[in-house]
């Protein structure tokens, strides 16, 4: 088992909203292992982005309340001062944002934006940083890096801009790279290229990657491990094969069943999870998914903890139901 | 596959090719604007009731008969060429203008170019000084308010900006004179340079002349005389700039690339200096160009209040006397200044924002 770079315990991220305090992340515990690609899956509003922004402190502010711990190689990111976070950000934890056009400064040449990331954390001359930036741009697959470094973001295509963003994020070989839906704004062929690039960079730079996505197709392709989030909590986590092949939580099962499959008979209509996700400030005491769950029973009034409930030591889930009942449901859904 | 897309979008040729052409096109519009303005002023002056001939014929004496007055006026009209039809007068005016002949004052016969040459530098000094004060004051307070949004700093700054923005120049000017000139006696309230310094204008820009003539003792009194009128003129514009800067900075602070800058590990100062200011300056600069026009308009009032010998005073006096050549010349001079400043603003904008200058 490889070492753990980031150890999150009972992390909560809450936002003040007019109706009260919204628990966007409601007690998450998760270990990120060095060099792995962990996919964080969940629907909109499940707290994926709030979790990762909470880790980097990018959503800190008077209306945000963060508690719990997030241990990055001996530093607790939650308790860290603003100054400490500034030295960690960019050097140890970097983020690839969803919309690269908006995430890049429109009036600065892209080479300079990569070089800025290098110079912020390394003692290096302006010229050397720019040369290094050009090398990085070449590494992420941008043609004519010398020339492209002089381009402004609007002069590059969407895929190229996301490559620039990845070059920026990887400039200092961070231990953790958070990719926040990096392919959502791109068309399908470019998506595949960017994912392949992330996978290659994971190997070359040795960064652990947290890939935030709601696209299970993406997950199946590149993830080493998968964590499924629902209503601010992780409901299931395991290796890719464990989660995709023997999902334990009814929500994961529902997600997988709602995916159209190329093999097998064509369903008349796509299976959907009934009901809608929790959105208000009020959360039930018990299982948050209970209201939508077809297996709901009395035990669900109590909150199920994320724990090992199968024979696999790495495969954790937060559902009281015995595995047999669920695998029957999975077969029924797939048929 | 992506290689071809990118190759077709390579930047240097596209971005650099369009810029000089766009600047040239922008400069070409200046003569057109000036011609339109000259025409407008020409027509407007002649629509005003009263003619220079009657005010000249009156000549101050009251014992002339009505018939005498009319006869005198007719003779003066003929001498000045005002008896010709309007289209004829217009053509003559344009012909003279093209050859650089701005005419001479009906009252005293001074060459119009000479009058403007004396007055315009004073007005430029006043408006530029006012602009500097307004930009520094408005910029600093606007940025401060934006970075401390929703705190007492923000609220106070915004309230103060609204108040100064709403104050009329003449009220501010008179208030300044009373408080700083009369009660406190800190600052001079009249003119540009004290007479006893016997300033001999060369370029009529005091700062330039002080250097050319090696007379550094001119500079401090000149600044002292400039402080009150320039501040009077600047204050309302400063209030306006405060609001624009605040709004503009707040908008940019919400942009995703600011979060990227924070993700890189930049501190607040670095984020503001390297990423926010330039992006926020784009809309601000346009507003500054337009505000320069407001300052020029306000300078007529301010110059009058402070007896400051600029184009504004020249223009006001000439309008009251129906001194056509001086009004036309002064209006044209002010318009030229305004269009040049705005052309400079547009060009600056093209240079500052790489997204323009291409399409």
Query: Which CATH number belongs to the domain containing residue B303 in this structure?
Result: 1.10.3720.10
Q: Which of A64-68, B160-164, B347-351 has the lowest mean pLDDT?
A: B347-351
Q: How many helices (H) and strands (E) does chain A have?
A: 12, 12
A57 belongs to a structural domain: yes
Residue A174 corresponds to which tokens in the numbers above? 């961070």
Chain A hits for B348, CB-CB cut-off 8 Å, are none
Instruction: For residue B359, count other CB atoms closer than 10 A to its CB.
Output: 7
**CA B126 to CA B314: how far, in whole Å?**
15
Rg value, chain B, Cα = 25
Q: Which residues pair with A38 in a beta bridge?
A: A210, A225
Closest to A66 measured CA to CA, from A5, A9, A15, A30: A15
DSSP assignment of B111-144 equals: BHHHHHHHHHHHHHHHHHHHHHHHHHHHHHHHHH
pLDDT beyond 80 at A40: yes
Q: Is the dihedral of CA B204, B332, B347, B253 positive or negative?
A: positive
Q: What is the pLDDT, as a whole number, of residue B193?
A: 80
User: Under an 8 A CB cutoff, do B265 and A105 touch?
Assistant: no
User: Under an 8 A CB cutoff, do B266 and A193 touch?
Assistant: no
Number of domain units in chain B = 1
Number of domain units in chain A = 2
> Given 3-state DSSP classes, what are the helix, strand and coil percentages for chain A, each rounded to the nearest 5?
35, 25, 40
Q: Which of A167-176, A184-193, B9-18, B246-255 has the lowest mean pLDDT?
A: B9-18
B40 belongs to a structural domain: no
**Residues A177, A271 within the same domain:** no
**The domain containing residue B275 runs over which residues?**
106-352
User: Under an 8 A CB cutoff, do B3 and A143 touch?
Assistant: yes
pLDDT in tens, B258-291: 999 999 999 999 999 999 998 998 889 888 988 8
Which stretch, A261-265, A283-287, B338-342, has highest mean pLDDT?
B338-342
| CB nearest to B7's CB, from A91, A94, A143 | A143
**Residues A73, A211 within the same domain:** yes
Rounded to 5°, angle at Cα A91 from A86 and A95: 85
A111 belongs to a structural domain: yes
The pLDDT of B4-30, averaged and rounded, is 62
**Residues A263, A125 within the same domain:** no
pLDDT class for B73, splitting at 50, 70, 90? confident
B100 belongs to a structural domain: no
B199 belongs to a structural domain: yes
DSSP assignment of A13-31 equals: EEEEETTEEEEEEEEEEEE
Q: Is the dihedral of CA A292, A316, A180, A79 positive or negative?
A: positive
| CB nearest to A152's CB, from B7, B11, B264 | B11
**CA A65 to CA B231: how far, in whole Å?**
46
The pLDDT of A52-78, averaged and rounded, is 87
pLDDT in tens, A154-193: 999 988 999 999 999 999 989 999 999 888 878 888 888 8
**Residues A161, A199 within the same domain:** yes
Residue B256 corresponds to which tokens in the numbers above? 């995703």
Three-state secondary structure call for residue A152: coil
User: Under an 8 A CB cutoff, do A97 and B264 touch?
Assistant: no
The pLDDT of A12-24, averaged and rounded, is 88
B44 belongs to a structural domain: no
Residue B15 corresponds to which tokens in the numbers above? 């971005």
Q: Which of A168-177, A299-308, B224-233 has the lowest mean pLDDT?
A: A299-308
Q: What is the pLDDT, as a whole number, of residue B131?
A: 94
Q: How far is CA A118 from CA A169, A198, A204, in A?
A: 10, 19, 18
Closest to A273 measured CA to CA, from A313, A210, A333: A333
Element (H, E) at B5: helix B2-7
**CA A147 to CA A157: how far, in whole Å?**
15
Closest to B341 measured CA to CA, from B124, B37, B38: B124
A304 belongs to a structural domain: yes
**CA B122 to CA B309: how far, in whole Å?**
7
Residue at token pair 């791109």: A186
pLDDT beyond 50 at B62: yes
Single out the residue in A191, A223, A255 at which a domain terminates: A223
**CA B235 to CA B167: how far, in whole Å?**
8
In A, minimum Cα distance to B9 occurs at A155
pLDDT beyond 50 at A265: yes
Q: What is the pLDDT, as a whole number, of residue B142?
A: 93
**CA B286 to CA B291: how far, in whole Å?**
9
pLDDT beyond 80 at B60: no
| CB nearest to B264's CB, from A83, A117, A144 | A117
User: Under an 8 A CB cutoff, do A105 and B1 touch?
Assistant: no
**Residues A176, A308 within the same domain:** no
B54 belongs to a structural domain: no
ipTM: 0.88
User: Under an 8 A CB cutoff, do B256 and A103 touch?
Assistant: yes
**Residues A64, A208 within the same domain:** yes
The pLDDT of A122-140, averaged and rounded, is 93
pLDDT class for A333, splitting at 50, 70, 90? low
pLDDT in tens, A21-38: 888 888 899 999 998 999
The answer to whether B95 contacts chain A (CB < 8 Å) is no
**Residues A162, A67 within the same domain:** yes
Closest to A105 measured CA to CA, from A59, A174, A151, A56: A151
Q: Which of A60-69, A171-180, A317-326, B257-266 has the lowest mean pLDDT?
A: A317-326
Rounded to 5°, angle at Cα B217 from B211 and B220: 100
B287 belongs to a structural domain: yes
Residue at token pair 């700054």: B157
In B, minimum Cα distance to A161 occurs at B6
Chain B hits for A95, CB-CB cut-off 8 Å, are 260, 263
Judge whether A219 and A209 are in contact, CB under 8 Å: no
Judge whether A64 and A14 are in contact, CB under 8 Å: yes
Residue A92 corresponds to which tokens in the numbers above? 């140890």
**Residues A188, A289 within the same domain:** no
CA distance B244 to chain A (A): 20
**Residues A256, A216 within the same domain:** no
Residue A122: φ, ψ to 5° = -130, 145
Q: What is the pLDDT, as a whole number, of residue A327?
A: 66
**Residues A254, A218 within the same domain:** no
pLDDT beyond 70 at B5: no
B49 belongs to a structural domain: no
User: Under an 8 A CB cutoff, do B2 and A143 touch?
Assistant: yes
Q: Which residues pair with A20 in a beta bridge?
A: A17
Cα A102 to its chain centre, rounded Å, is: 19
**CA A221 to CA A31: how far, in whole Å?**
21
Question: Of A53, A54, A103, A176, which to mutate for an interface test with B (greatest number of B Cβ within 10 Å)?
Answer: A103
| CB contact burial A275-294 (16+ within 10 A = b; e otherwise) | eebbeeeeeeebbbbbebbe
**CA A245 to CA B313: how far, in whole Å?**
87
A144 belongs to a structural domain: yes
**Residues A288, A155 within the same domain:** no
A145 belongs to a structural domain: yes
Residue B302 corresponds to which tokens in the numbers above? 């301010």
Q: What is the pLDDT, as a whole number, of residue A120?
A: 93
B228 belongs to a structural domain: yes
CA distance B178 to chain A (A): 46
| CB contact burial A192-215 (16+ within 10 A = b; e otherwise) | ebbbebbbebbeebebbbbbbbbb
At a CB cut-off of 8 Å and minimum separation 6, what does B314 contact?
Answer: B115, B116, B119, B326, B330
Q: Strand pairing of A20-33 and A75-76?
A: unpaired
pLDDT in tens, B104-132: 888 888 888 889 988 999 999 999 999 99
pLDDT class for B211, splitting at 50, 70, 90? confident
**The domain containing residue A132 runs over which residues?**
4-223
Rounded to 5°, angle at Cα A155 from A210 and A191: 35
**CA B137 to CA B126: how far, in whole Å?**
16
pLDDT class for A92, splitting at 50, 70, 90? very high
Q: How far is CA A212 from CA A34, A167, A223, A273, B108, in A?
A: 17, 18, 11, 21, 82
The answer to whether B7 contacts chain A (CB < 8 Å) is yes
Instruction: For residue B13, count other CB atoms closer than 10 A to its CB.
Output: 8
């Amino acid at each position: 088992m490889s070492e753990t770079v980031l150890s999150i315990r009972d992390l909560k991220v809450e936002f003040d909203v007019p109706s009260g305090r919204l628990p966007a992340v409601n007690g998450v515990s998760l270990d990120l292992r060095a060099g792995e690609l962990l996919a964080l899956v969940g629907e909109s509003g499940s707290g994926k982005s709030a979790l990762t922004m909470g880790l980097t402190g990018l959503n800190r502010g008077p209306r945000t309340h963060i508690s719990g711990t997030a241990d990055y190689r001996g530093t607790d990111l939650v308790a860290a001062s603003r100054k400490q976070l500034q030295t960690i950000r960019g050097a140890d934890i970097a983020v690839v944002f969803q919309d690269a056009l908006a995430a890049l400064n429109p009036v600065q040449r892209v080479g300079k934006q990569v070089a800025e990331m290098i110079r912020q954390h390394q003692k290096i001359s302006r010229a050397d940083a720019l040369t290094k930036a050009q090398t990085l741009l070449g590494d992420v697959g941008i043609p004519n890096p010398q020339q492209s470094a002089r381009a402004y973001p609007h002069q590059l295509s969407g895929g190229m801009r996301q490559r620039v963003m990845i070059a920026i994020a990887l400039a200092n070989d961070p231990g953790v790279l958070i990719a926040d839906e990096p392919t959502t704004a791109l068309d399908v062929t470019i998506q595949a290229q960017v994912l392949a690039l992330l996978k290659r960079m994971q190997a070359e730079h040795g960064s652990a990657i947290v890939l935030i996505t709601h696209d299970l197709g993406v997950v199946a392709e590149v993830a080493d491990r998968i964590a499924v989030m629902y209503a601010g909590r992780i409901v299931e986590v395991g290796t890719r094969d464990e989660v995709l092949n023997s999902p334990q939580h009814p929500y994961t099962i529902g997600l997988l069943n709602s995916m159209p499959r190329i093999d097998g008979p064509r369903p008349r209509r796509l299976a959907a999870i009934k009901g809608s996700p929790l959105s208000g400030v009020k959360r039930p005491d018990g299982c948050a998914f209970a209201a939508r769950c077809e297996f709901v029973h009395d035990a669900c009034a109590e909150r199920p903890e994320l724990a090992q409930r199968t024979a696999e030591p790495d495969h954790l889930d937060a559902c009281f139901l015995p595995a047999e009942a669920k695998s029957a449901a999975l077969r029924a859904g797939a048929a | 596959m992506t290689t071809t897309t990118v190759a077709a979008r390579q930047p240097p040729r596209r971005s650099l090719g369009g810029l000089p052409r766009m600047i040239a096109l922008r400069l070409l519009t200046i003569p057109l604007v000036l011609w339109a303005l000259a025409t407008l002023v020409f027509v407007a002056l002649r629509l005003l009731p009263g003619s220079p001939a009657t005010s000249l014929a009156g000549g101050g004496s009251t014992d002339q008969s009505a018939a005498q007055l009319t006869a005198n006026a007719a003779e003066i009209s003929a001498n000045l060429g005002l008896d010709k039809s309007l289209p004829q007068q217009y053509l003559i005016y344009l012909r003279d203008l093209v050859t650089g002949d701005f005419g001479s004052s009906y009252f005293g016969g001074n060459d119009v170019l000479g009058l403007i040459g004396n007055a315009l530098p004073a007005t430029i000094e006043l408006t530029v000084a006012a602009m500097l004060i307004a930009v520094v004051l408005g910029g600093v307070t606007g940025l401060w308010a934006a970075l401390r949004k929703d705190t007492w700093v923000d609220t106070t700054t915004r309230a103060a900006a609204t108040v100064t923005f709403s104050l009329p120049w003449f009220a501010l000017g008179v208030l300044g004179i009373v408080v700083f000139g009369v009660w406190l006696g800190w600052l001079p309230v009249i003119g540009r340079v004290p007479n006893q310094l016997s300033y001999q204008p060369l370029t009529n820009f005091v700062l330039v002349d002080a250097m050319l003539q090696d007379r550094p003792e001119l500079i401090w009194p000149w600044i002292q005389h400039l402080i009150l009128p320039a501040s009077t003129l600047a204050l309302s514009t400063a209030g306006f700039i405060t609001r624009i800067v605040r709004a503009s900075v707040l908008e940019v602070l919400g942009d995703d690339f600011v979060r990227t800058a924070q993700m890189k590990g930049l501190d607040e100062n670095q984020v503001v200096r390297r990423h926010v200011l330039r992006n926020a300056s784009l809309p601000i600069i346009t507003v500054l160009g337009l505000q320069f026009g407001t300052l020029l308009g306000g300078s007529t009032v301010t110059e009058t209040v402070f007896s400051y010998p600029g184009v504004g005073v020249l223009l006001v006096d000439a309008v009251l006397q129906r001194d056509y050549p001086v009004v036309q010349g002064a209006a044209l001079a002010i318009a030229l200044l305004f269009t040049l400043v705005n052309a400079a603003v547009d060009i600056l904008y093209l240079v500052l924002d790489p997204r323009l200058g291409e399409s």
